[in-house]
Every structure is written in structure tokens, then in C-alpha cells.
Amino acid sequence: MKSRELLSVGLRVCGVLLIFLGLRTISNQYMSLGMLSYNGDERIQVYAVVTVIEIALIFLLALALLKFPNLVAKKLLPRESDDKVEFSKNGKELLSIAFCLMGVYILSWAIPDLVNNGMWLIHFSERAYASDSNYAETVIVQITTVVEIVIGGFLCFGASGLGNVLWKLRGMQRA
């Protein structure tokens, strides 16, 4: 099995998990928007638009991972990893694929959490809620989510990921 095919299987699993995450997000955001509208928040339309965009992006990413996993795997893996993966000989390639999948999984649930926590931070930033304990808790959760995104990005793109992404964006081969 080639490393791209192996990564494609994992990306399809992440796509299925994203569908469940999208359904959970619909439930959570419905509850949150109901509470915000009950409190008479003036920015409820903005929150609703952000919620719809967030849910649409989750389902579009799930669709992309389910429908085009080979294309996504091709973009994530370096060009020189087209060899067949033999589990007994090439452990480094297998670890690379496993870490990349773990990074995609972490990013798939951390990015929607970032949006959700950001909406709550905007809501709690009003003067009436600034001294509330929920505000401090949401700030801590938001910082934790940013750390999760950094870890997921590091796992997904590897230690030299920023250099690889820069070279890919410029359309050049790695040096």
C-alpha cells in the first residue's frame, strides 16, 4: 500500500468524524443562539451568520475528505513519499502518516471550537459580563484551543512544515 493510499483511508475516517462533529455543532449552536436571543443580544444576526458559515465549512471539509481523500493526501505528503509502505521496514514513513492523520484530526475539531469560543468571548466582552467567571473560563478555553491548533498544525505539517508550505506556495521544489 502506498503512503498516499494509507493516508487517504485515515482522511476518510476524519471526514466521517467531521460529519458527526458538524451535527454536534448544529445542536450546540442552536442551544447557544437560543440563549443569546432570550437574553436580547443585538448581535444575534451576526452570530447566526457566523454559525451558518462555521457549519457549512465543517460539512464542506467533511465532503472534501470523503470525496477527494487522494487529492488531500497528495497535498499533505511530500513528493518523495510515493514508495510503497512496508510495515516491517519503513517505520519512519508509517509514523509520518500517523502523525499527519493525528494532526488533521486535532485540527478538525479545534478550529470549530476556536470559532465557537470566539463568539462567546465577543458576547462576554460586554461590560455586564466582563466580571463574570464565564468570561475568564472562556478565555482559558480559547488559549487552550489555540495551543491545540498549533500542536495539530505541527503534527500535520511536520517540524519543517512552514518551509514546506512556503515552497509549495511559491511552486518550487524543496531544497
| Domain range summary for the chain, segments of one domain joined by + | 3-170
The answer to whether the beta carbons of residues 84 and 108 sit under 8 Å apart is no
pLDDT digits (tens, 9 = 90+) for 11-50: 888 888 889 888 888 888 888 888 778 877 777 888 889 8
Alpha carbon distance 164, 43 (integer Å): 40
User: What are the C-alpha distances in Å from 52 to residues 25, 35, 126, 127, 173?
Assistant: 10, 17, 23, 27, 39
Q: What is the pTM of this model?
A: 0.61
Number of Cα atoms under 13 Å in the Cβ half of residue 66: 11
Q: Packing angle between helix 69-76 and helix 3-38, nearest 10 degrees? A: 100
Q: Residue 142 pLDDT > 60, yes or no?
A: yes
When pLDDT is averaged across residues 72-90 and rounded to a whole number, the result is 66
Provide the pLDDT for residue 84: 65
Provide the pLDDT for residue 6: 77
pLDDT digits (tens, 9 = 90+) for 84-123: 656 555 556 666 777 778 888 888 888 888 888 888 888 7
